[in-house]
Structure 1
Amino acid sequence: MIRALVYLGIILVGLCVSPFLVGNTGYLYIALGEYQAETSIVFGVIALILFYSLLQLFEFIVVWVINLILSSRLLPEKWRKKAARKHTLVGALALAEEDWAAAEKAMVKGAEKGEIPALNLLAAARAAQHQNNTVARDEYLAKAALEPLAAKAVSTTRTRYLLQQGELESAQEELTKLNPTSKSKTPVLLLAIELYKALEDWQALKLILPIINKKHVLDEQAFKALSLETNLALLQSAAKTNEQELEKCWHWLSRAERKQAEYIAEYAIGLNHFEHKAQAIKLLQKQLKAAPSKPIFDALAQVLTPSDVEARKQLLELESQYEDNVDYQICVAKLYHQNSDYHNAKVWWQKACYLEDTPSNLHALADAQEHEGELNRALQTRRKAVRV
């Protein structure tokens, strides 16, 4: 509606102005050197508009011709880039389908004139890795590493592939170049965890635990499990080395960690190994009164011997307190087994199986029954263990 009113206004203005223009066309005189021209203003304006239109048309034709010439010269390059994009798409789809041979072939072709060759080469390396073609894989990674921004990604990828192949020493050399620190990215730290565990390099893993915790690389439960595994491995290794190393490892733990049952149990076993039995028993008994747990009972079963009459007596006095604790029953049963007291061992294994009839408990009960000559019962117990 508004547009129609505008058009109508323009028409009315034209009708009003046109008689004035017809009656007063004006006069225009142009002199250029020896040339002179006389015309009306209306004709001059029309000629000027026509000249400008022709000039614009000429400019358009010139630009179009230049673009045509340039595009004809660069046309093969455009075709190659278009083909590279097509090959990259085909390779990506093949990777999604896990058609590794097709993916490798397409990604290599796409890398020749691709916009980001390093990505194509990394994808081709992945496909070659899945085909166990390590020669081609290393070739692709070497080419991708020529891109400065891709150097760390290539090194991380190479470390992961070497780890998957079981070439742990080579993987460690590559990881050393990455130098896992607090500034490292999460994938590098996760790779370091996996590699150090495979190498059983618990010292190196212990050093990066604070970084892993600070950067929240693992969730709380997974981090606690990793810390426990690392510290226990270090204590066990120290106990096999010497007493000084054991003490060093023990004091390397934080104050809170030195109160955990798992570490106390392992430390006590180490002390016992270096003939500090009294100290080990005292430490375990103290923890037993504070917070009894499976690691403590397991350690007591290893540390106590038939000659430790007083300590064994104190342990048996706790029967009424821990009558529902299966770990306590197992501990006492193992101690009787040490004495070759199979009758009492059988009684305590029966109590343990009543609380928790696991295959290990049932097989231990069957062993005691066999020593007591109860072969049929032992056979039934072992059958029950198999069913469980």
Structure 2
Amino acid sequence: MKTLIKWSLALLAAVLLTSLALLNQGEVSLRWDVWQIDTSASFVLALAIVAVLVLYLVLRLWIWLWSLPGKWAHHRLVKRYQQAETSLTRGLIAQEAADWSQAEKQLIKTAKLSQNGVMHYLTAAKMAAMQQADQRRDQYLKQAKLAYPDQSLTIGLVEARLISESDSKLAVVILAELHKQHPKHRVVLQEYIKLLRQLKQLTRLHELMPVIRKVSGLSRPDLTQLETDVLAMQLAQAPDYETLEQQWQALTHKQKLNPQIMVEYIKASMKAEQLNGLSEWIEKALKAQWDESLVYYFGRIQFGPAYDRFKKAQAWLKNHPDSAVLYLTLGRLACQSQLWGQAHDYFKQSLKLQPELETFHAFAQCYEAEGEDRQAALVYKQAMLELDKPE
């Protein structure tokens, strides 16, 4: 439609000019000293129009020549970007095909040409890491930092992830610095928490808990699990029994009954040879929630009459008839109570459900306590045969 209107206007202008020329409305006389030129007004008008058009074309040519270097540079830049995008695509395809070497080669080849060069460097660093080429990995990360200082957060996160397995302490330092610079960044905080949990850095986790509750974005179950992990680690790392008891008494009743927390308390108490009351705590916890790790330690505690604990553990069989750990505990308690026949049966049932080296060892020790060294030797031999079986 616009083109039709333009052509119509041009045609109208041509008709008007032609009509004006045919009518020959007036003459123009130009005099300069002794020179004089007489011509029609239509010719002068046509000449003026031609002059304007020539001037317009000259200006357009000059503007085009003036902008030519910039256009050429832009053309080259676009071509470089296209090359970089092509290399990026090929690199990502090679990555999906698990061709780490080819992916690294394609990505780093045009990293300096790309609008998104930081992605080239970081992905190439990942590919180098997949090939255990730590030197190249570090080189690409260094290049990314120099070329894209404004992307320090993203680069730092990728670097921490890549080196966490080989140098977890350095990864923690990097994440600590990133968290210091960006205290409300959720991803940084979550990565920092994850690594601190792996390294069991209890003090730092404990300090971060108020921030974690406000900023981390963890779901309620994940946050509860983290708090449980921190409390369990706190008990596991208690320097002495007095500190352990202080920490234990500071917990709520619900926290004490948590199996993960209670297991650490029981292990630390057994190490300190403070066994009084442990079996009662396990019974309370198992009433609230069945947990085989607590069942296991119920058979390891040697404090008070074993027969009483044996009868209580027997009652658990009704609801858990297929628990190898429960049969192991019953075997130990029966053996401590010198109920040899029942002990043998329980150990055999546990081995039938789940043949474990510890169960063989407990079974053999029971025979030794009974004075049946020959039978104990046979159990040890059976354990060796079990261990030699192909997986």
Say which of 289, 294, 303 aligns to 1:296. Answer: 294
Number of the residue aligned with 1:359? 355
Work out whether residues 184 and 215 of structure 2, in 8 Å CA contact, stay in contact via their aligned partners in 1. Answer: no
Q: Distance in 1 between matches of 2:377 and 2:300?
A: 30
Q: Distance in 1 between matches of 2:267 and 2:141?
A: 49
Work out whether residues 235 and 246 of structure 1, in 8 Å CA contact, stay in contact via their aligned partners in 2. Answer: yes
* Alignment of structure 1 residues 246-325 onto 2, 5 Å: 246-250=244-248, 256-274=254-272, 276-291=274-289, 293-305=291-303, 308-309=304-305, 312-313=307-308, 316=311, 319-320=314-315, 322-325=317-320
Residue type at the aligned position of 1:303? I
Aligned-residue identity in percent = 18
Give, in angstroms, the shift of residue 149 of structure 1.
0.9
Give, in angstroms, the shift of residue 357 of structure 1.
1.2
Work out whether residues 28 and 41 of structure 2, in 8 Å CA contact, stay in contact via their aligned partners in 1. Answer: no
Q: TM-score, normalised by structure 2?
A: 0.69
CA separation of 1:321 and 1:126: change in aligned 2, threshold 3 A: closer
Q: Distance in 2 between matches of 1:142 and 1:318?
A: 61
* Alignment of structure 1 residues 1-388 onto 2, 5 Å: 25-27=24-26, 42-43=42-43, 45-68=45-68, 70=69, 79=76, 82-83=79-80, 85-86=82-83, 89-90=86-87, 92-94=89-91, 96-98=93-95, 99-146=99-146, 147-164=148-165, 166-179=166-179, 183-186=184-187, 188-208=188-208, 228-238=228-238, 241-250=239-248, 256-274=254-272, 276-291=274-289, 293-305=291-303, 308-309=304-305, 312-313=307-308, 316=311, 319-320=314-315, 322-325=317-320, 326=323, 328-338=326-336, 341-349=339-347, 357-360=353-356, 363=360, 367=364
Residue type at the aligned position of 1:159? A
Work out whether residues 145 and 151 of structure 2, in 8 Å CA contact, stay in contact via their aligned partners in 1. Answer: yes
Give, in angstroms, the shift of residue 316 of structure 1.
1.0
CA separation of 1:145 and 1:314: change in aligned 2, threshold 3 A: closer
Q: Distance in 2 between matches of 1:251 and 1:211?
A: 25
2:237 alignment partner, SS class? helix
Residue type at the aligned position of 1:148? P
Deviation per CA, 1:170-212, whole angstroms, max 9, x where unpaired? 33333332236751341x3453244334433243345546656
Work out whether residues 28 and 44 of structure 1, in 8 Å CA contact, stay in contact via their aligned partners in 2. Answer: no
Give, in angstroms, the shift of residue 261 of structure 1.
3.1
Deviation per CA, 1:3-33, whole angstroms, max 9, x where unpaired? 99xx99x999x99x99996886544768899
| Structure 2 gaps, min length 5 | none
CA separation of 1:47 and 1:247: change in aligned 2, threshold 3 A: farther
CA separation of 1:136 and 1:380: change in aligned 2, threshold 3 A: closer
Aligned-residue CA RMSD (Å): 5.1
Q: TM-score, normalised by structure 1?
A: 0.70
Q: Distance in 2 between matches of 1:202 and 1:283?
A: 25
CA separation of 1:33 and 1:151: change in aligned 2, threshold 3 A: farther
| Structure 1 gaps, min length 5 | none
1:324 alignment partner, SS class? coil
Residue type at the aligned position of 1:263? I
Q: Distance in 1 between matches of 2:70 and 2:281?
A: 86
Give, in angstroms, the shift of residue 345 of structure 1.
1.1
Residue type at the aligned position of 2:318? E
Give, in angstroms, the shift of residue 242 of structure 1.
0.8
Q: Distance in 2 between matches of 1:274 and 1:377?
A: 34
CA separation of 1:331 and 1:191: change in aligned 2, threshold 3 A: same
Q: Distance in 1 between matches of 2:298 and 2:380?
A: 30
Deviating more after overlay: 108-117 vs 56-65: 108-117
Deviation per CA, 1:316-341, whole angstroms, max 9, x where unpaired? 15645643334554433222234565
Q: Distance in 1 between matches of 2:195 and 2:247?
A: 22
CA separation of 1:348 and 1:266: change in aligned 2, threshold 3 A: same
1:359 alignment partner, SS class? coil
Q: Distance in 2 between matches of 1:288 and 1:136?
A: 53
Give, in angstroms, the shift of residue 351 of structure 1.
5.8
Give, in angstroms, the shift of residue 139 of structure 1.
3.3
